[in-house]
Structure 1
Amino acid sequence: MSTINQTLFSRASAEVIDLHRFFVDWFVAARADTVDFARFERAMGDGLSMITPDGHVLDRAAVVDHVRSSRAICDDGFAISIEDIRPGWHDADTIVVFYVEAQLRAGKHSRRQSSAVFTTSSSAPNGVEWRHLHETWLQVPES
């Protein structure tokens, strides 16, 4: 990978980790008041699309509305960890990043394989914005 693409991968990796930290803070009731929702909106690029683990296709407005309405829905036991971040296809301004998201919610574990497309953006928190996200269940939340 060239130097500029290594920088792009580093920015995209930092964005994956930082955004999931945002989710934990936004979703946990005890911390939700300390979070700036505008950070999330700045990271979601125009034309964003998402395929949920259940196969639903969401546009940017639906993703933003869902996250906004999910504020403070979890207790202090909610946690997300990001594993196995690796680069996929890339060019000078765009990169696909693969990662596994593991969650603990209400004592139940789940895992999802994700692929995300990022493009450079000087106004986005880590210099990249989310353009597409596809999540697939590896481990459905335990019953």
Structure 2
Amino acid sequence: MSGIIELSQREVLEFHRVLEAWLRGALPHSAAEASRMEDAFGSRCVLVAPGGVVEEKAVLMARLFQAHGSRPDMEITIDQFAPVWTREDVALVSYIEWRKSGGQTTGRYASVLFQAAPQAPAGVHWLHIHETWMAAHGPR
């Protein structure tokens, strides 16, 4: 795999490890702890969430900050990471994200556009995230 793909894969895994700990409440509820997530997103990052809601970075971060400790049993697993397209310092990747919480397991397909960013926690910024529920694996 090329450098940008390796950085992107490491970021997907590390980000979701931090997100899981944040949602569990295993990290202190502070702006300093949330900064790892915020610093990973590019300034114009956009999330198209599985339910169709579109969030810009500020809205996404506010929602994540409020969600601290909201899922004390959260387990997140990343599966089937794959490069879709790359060009120098930009990569489009896909993966499946499984979440277990509250006695329910959900699955979502995710596609993310990353750009190399040496100042970012894992060396890449999330630019555009598009998620959709997997058939028969959405919330009940």
Q: Within 5 A, what are the aligned runs for 1:1-143?
A: 6-29=2-25, 31-33=26-28, 36-75=33-72, 77-138=73-134, 139-141=137-139, 143=140
Counterpart CA distance in 2 for 1:32 and 1:94 is 31
Q: TM-score, normalised by structure 1?
A: 0.91
Between the aligned partners of 1:92 and 1:84, the Cα distance in structure 2 is: 23
Q: CA deviation at 1:8?
A: 0.7
Aligned-pair Cα RMSD in Å: 1.3
User: Does the C-alpha gap of structure 1 residues 69 and 34 become closer, same or farther in structure 2, counting only changes over 3 Å?
Assistant: closer
Separation (CA, whole Å) in 1 of partners of 2:74 and 2:47: 22
Structure 2: runs of 5+ lacking an equivalent: none
TM-score by length of 2: 0.93
Question: Following TM superposition, by how much is the alpha carbon of 1:32 offset from its aligned partner in structure 2, in angstroms?
Answer: 2.6
What is the SS of the residue equivalent to 2:22? helix
Structure 1 segments, 4+ long, off by >4 Å, are: none
SS in 2 for 1:74: coil
Which amino acid is the alignment partner of residue 50 of structure 1? L
Q: Is the 8 A contact 2:44 2:57 kept in 1?
A: yes
Give me the identity figure in percent: 27
Secondary structure (helix, strand or coil) at the match of 2:28 reads helix
